[in-house]
Structure formats: C-alpha cells, structure tokens
Amino acid sequence: MSGHRGPRGHGQGARCQGPGGWGCLCSKGPASVQLQCDKTLIQANVGSGFNLVCQYQTNQYLFSKKYWCRGESRSTCDILMDTDGLTNRELRHRSQIIDTQPRGLVIIMTDLKLEDTGVYWVGIDKIYADIMTSINLIVTFVAVSKPKVWPLSSMGNTCWGQPVTVRCASAQGTSVHYTWYQPAQPAQPQDIQFQSSADLHLHCGIVEEDSQYYCRASNDVSSQHSGMVSLQVLKPLEEDCIYSFTMEGQRSYDCSDRLKTSTATTLRSTGHLTEEPYHPGTNSNLSSTINQTHQDWSYSRSTLAHLELKPVTQ
C-alpha cells in the first residue's frame, strides 16, 4: 500500500524550485540548499529503467526517513516507497529506494510502462515541512527502425510452384504492428492493404500477375517501410504455377532451368509430368498451410513461346 503526503502542521513552509533542480525551503532568511538530484527530467523507453541519485545533507538528515512519491502536488502526493520498508504493491518487483548515506539516496525503477509517466517527488521527512524536490518522468515507446524482409525458405521453390513466406521485422521498436501493402498503380491511386501480418504468404492461388509488395512497421511513435518485394509471374496457374521474386538484400535468381526442363519433358513424354507434393514445415509462425496434391500437367512449345520472360536485375 502507499502512504499519503498531507500537511505537516502550522509551520509548513512554502516550496520553491531552485536552479539546476535544487530542492529548497523558502523562508524569510537565505535559502538553504538541502537536497539535490542528478536529474529533474527523466525520459525513458517502455521496458527500460533508470537510476536516480540524490545528495542530501547527511550531517543533519542521515537518520531521517526518505521516500519516493507521485503526484502533481507535493502536499498530496502518494508515497510509493520509503527507506523504512514501505513499497507500493504494484512496484514491489520493479522499484527500490536505497540510502547509501555518504554517497547519497538512490531511486531505482525498472520495466517502465507508459502509465508510469508523471510527476514524482523525492522527499526527506522533516518536522513542520519535508524537504522535497520534483522529478518529471516521461515514458515512451521505442521508435521503429526500417524493417528488413527475408524468405523463410529457398526462393527457388517458386520455380516449382511451391508457396513461400516472406517475413518482415524491425530490429528496434516497441509494440510494433506489421502490415503488407501493394503500392499505388495508375488505375489504383492509393496503396492497398494486402495482409495484416509480419508474414507475406505467396502461393499459386494469389500469384496471377506481376506485382509488388512492401511491409510497413508502425507503433504509436513512428512508422517505417521496407524495401520492395517484386514478383514476376512466368506461368500463371492455380497450381503448378511458375513465379519468381526479388527483394532488397537477397540474391536474384530466375526459373530458366525449370522452364527448359518443362519443355524438354513435354517433348519426350506423352505430355504429362507428375510433381511430388509439397509438405510445409511445422513453423508455428505460418498462419496458413497450402496442401498440394499430385497434379498432371502439360506444357507445349507454343505455350512457352508466348511467355514474356523478363531479365533478372542484378
């Protein structure tokens, strides 16, 4: 449970904030500097922590109780913990107050949350008027970094019509949300949301024409988008299609050997070629599984002649 800081009697003095964050007691005589912390403004990210070190006059207040409280007003703030052993239940496992005596008072908070943002006070128990100085804490999300994209399996699998998953991830960022988009086209003035997931699933069922995709990583602080994933359809079919794709940071490839194999097999055989079924792995991150069965297909010389093969960009 937390304590409550109320009025300390008729002799309570007015408070002021001195230069450099010095806490002082305003009175008719000269100001008496009695408490100083190494920070008055703390800016930190969600999940991180901080150490606050405060110096005080040990010759006068060595055995006085020290505390850490929260609230806009010094006279009504709620005590979260003190050097007598009181600690707020919600902060018990992520905060600490230590009086190192000659070396000062240390306040430690870890695993910071957005709701920890607010005004805090470091105080020393003193008759009539406690010695207090305010600390402003601002907790924010970590801004996202530019996401990278990479395939979870061999890119060459697309030459055999097998599904491929492309993953998107940012190295930095708190509570990051990933979405895949198709960029705007002349007949499509705005980017279109394609999948609300970190994974882009490509398979024959959706690969119908040449297209491009990019991943956007975003949170409450910022957003970044990945490089483009460009897809080229060489043989559009619901099953046993042939397609290839390129992306930033990955080696390019083509399916020319697959096309030559298809043609040669068609000329030598009765016109049928049986493919082995594709068995997806057990990756728990795949949101769907594409089951493919044995399919007979034929691919004639005239069909191949009409394919428009685009050169691979190195």
Poorest-pLDDT segment among 36-40, 261-265, 296-300: 296-300
Residues 113 and 157 both lie in one domain: no
Which of 140, 173, 205 marks a domain boundary?
140
Mean pLDDT of the residues in the chain: 76
Residues 89 and 119 both lie in one domain: yes
pLDDT at position 160: 87
Residues 198 and 105 both lie in one domain: no
Angle at 169 between CA 283 and CA 166, to 5 degrees: 50
pLDDT at position 122: 97
Among candidate residues 208, 200, 176, the one with its CA nearest the CA of residue 285: 200
Instruction: Give the mean pLDDT of 268-284.
Output: 34
Residues 166 and 130 both lie in one domain: no
Q: Residue 75's pLDDT band (boundaries 50, 70, 90)?
A: confident
Residue 98 and residue 108 in contact, taking contact as beta carbons nearer than 8 Å: yes
Asked whether residue 16 carries a pLDDT value surpassing 50, the answer given is no
Let me know if residue 7 belongs to a domain.
yes
Domain containing 219 — which CATH number?
A: 2.60.40.10
Residues 13 and 134 both lie in one domain: yes
* Complete edge-to-edge strand list for the sheet that includes strand 148-151: 148-151, 164-169, 199-202
More confident of the two residues 185 and 26: 185
Let me know if residue 274 belongs to a domain.
no
Please report where in the chains the tokens 């010094």 appear, as a residue: 74
Structural domain harbouring 172: 148-259
pLDDT at position 234: 86
Let me know if residue 296 belongs to a domain.
no
Q: Residue 261's pLDDT band (boundaries 50, 70, 90)?
A: low
Instruction: Give the mean pLDDT of 151-158.
Output: 89
More confident of the two residues 233 and 263: 233
CB count within 10 Å of CB 270 equals: 7
Which of 114, 140, 166 marks a domain boundary?
140
Residues 104 and 160 both lie in one domain: no
Residues 76 and 44 both lie in one domain: yes
Asked whether residue 11 carries a pLDDT value surpassing 90, the answer given is no
Residues 48 and 13 both lie in one domain: yes
Query: What amino acid is encoded at 249 in this protein?
Result: G
Among candidate residues 37, 16, 35, 36, the one with its CA nearest the CA of residue 27: 16
* pLDDT, tens only, 86-131: 888 888 899 999 999 888 999 999 999 999 999 999 999 999 899 9
The model's pTM is: 0.59
Let me know if residue 132 belongs to a domain.
yes
pLDDT at position 148: 95
pLDDT at position 216: 97
Q: Residue 288's pLDDT band (boundaries 50, 70, 90)?
A: very low
Which tokens in the block code for residue 271? Answer: 């016109």
Return d(Cα 129, Cα 5) in angstroms, integer. Answer: 11
pLDDT at position 146: 96
Let me know if residue 26 belongs to a domain.
yes
Instruction: Give the mean pLDDT of 41-45.
Output: 96
Which of 259, 278, 295 marks a domain boundary?
259
Let me know if residue 269 belongs to a domain.
no
pLDDT at position 296: 33
Residues 124 and 196 both lie in one domain: no
Residues 135 and 7 both lie in one domain: yes
Residues 185 and 243 both lie in one domain: yes
Number of domains composing the chain: 2
Q: Residue 2's pLDDT band (boundaries 50, 70, 90)?
A: low
Let me know if residue 276 belongs to a domain.
no
Asked whether residue 82 carries a pLDDT value surpassing 60, the answer given is yes
More confident of the two residues 178 and 203: 178
- Interacting residues of 33 by C-beta distance below 8 A, sequence separation 6+: 18, 22, 24
Residues 87 and 168 both lie in one domain: no
Return d(Cα 220, Cα 199) in angstroms, integer. Answer: 21
Let me know if residue 304 belongs to a domain.
no
